[in-house]
Amino acid sequence: MAMGGLGPPPLIVRRALRLVWPVLAAITTLACLPLLVVGAIWSLADRRARLFRATGLVLLGVWLDVQLLVGCWRLWLADPRGQSPTWRRDHEELLVRVLDTAMRLGRKWVGLDVRLDTVMDFGDPQRPLIAFARHAGPADSLAVAWLLSRTAGRLPRIVLADALRWDPGIDLILTRLGSAFVPSASGAGDDRISGVRRLADTLDPRDALLIFPEGENWTPARRRRLIDRLRQAGHHARARQAELLRNVLPPKTKGAIATLTARPDADVMIVAHAGLGELAGPRAIFDAIPFQQPFLVHTWTYLADQVPRDPAAIEAWLTARWSEIDAWVEGHE
What does the pLDDT profile of the chain (333 residues) look like in tens digits? 445 557 889 999 999 999 999 999 999 999 999 999 999 999 999 999 999 999 999 999 999 999 999 999 999 999 999 889 999 999 999 999 999 999 999 999 999 999 999 888 888 888 999 999 999 988 898 999 999 998 877 888 888 888 889 999 999 999 999 888 887 654 445 567 888 888 899 898 888 999 999 988 899 899 999 999 989 998 888 899 899 999 999 998 898 999 999 999 999 999 999 999 888 888 999 999 999 999 999 999 999 999 999 999 999 999 999 999 999 999 987
| Closest C-alpha among 269, 263, 297, 260 to residue 122 | 269
Q: What CATH fold (topology level) applies to the domain 11-332?
A: Glycerol-3-phosphate (1)-acyltransferase (3.40.1130)
Q: Is the pTM of this model over 0.85?
A: yes
Query: HSE-up of 187 (CA within 13 Å, CB side)?
Result: 21
What pLDDT score was predicted for residue 185? 54
What pLDDT score was predicted for residue 49? 96
d(CA 275, CA 294) in angstroms, rounded, equals 6
What pLDDT score was predicted for residue 2? 45
Packing angle of the helix pair 254-262, 191-201 (nearest 10 deg): 30
What pLDDT score was predicted for residue 191? 60
Bond preceding residue 9 cis, omega within 30 of 0? no
What pLDDT score was predicted for residue 188? 47
Alpha-helical regions (H) of 178-297: 191-201, 220-232, 236-244, 254-262, 282-288
- Count other Cβ atoms within 10 Å, centred on residue 291: 19
d(CA 253, CA 258) in angstroms, rounded, equals 9
What pLDDT score was predicted for residue 184? 63
Strand duo 267-274 + 129-133: pairing: parallel
